[in-house]
Amino acid sequence: MNDLSSVVASLNGKVDRLVDLHREANASRQALKDENQALSLQLVEEQQKVAELTERNKVLSLARSVGEDSKGALELKLKINELVRELDKCIAMLNR
């Protein structure tokens, strides 16, 4: 009987340890999920910044290529207005 109670006590200790390990693993998993979600949000924000900078770069390149030509300046203004409208639409969709 003494052997049986020591085996049961040993099993209880091991089960308690497994329960503790399980709780720790769940807490670690939740922390990793939270970190992943934060990093995903940060990635989306950075992608938006890249898209904005790309559009600005296109506008600047277009402005440099047009130079001081008055007809080109009008076309440039129209292109800039078009790009601004597109950006406004994108921002509106993101804010939904």
Q: Domain tally for the chain?
A: 1
pLDDT grade, residue 26 (50/70/90)? very high
**What is the arithmetic mean of pLDDT over 52-59?**
87
Mean residue pLDDT across the chain: 86
Range of the domain at 60: 2-94
Record the pTM. 0.54
For residues 26 and 30, what is the distance between their CA atoms, to the nearest angstrom? 6
Q: What is the pLDDT of residue 68?
A: 59
Burial 22-61 (b: 16+ CB within 10 A, else e): eeeeeeeeeeeeeeeeeeeeeeeeeeeeeeeeeeeeeeee
Q: Which of 35-39, 48-52, 58-62 has the lowest mean pLDDT?
A: 58-62
**What is the arithmetic mean of pLDDT over 56-75?**
72
Structure tokens at 30: 């939740």
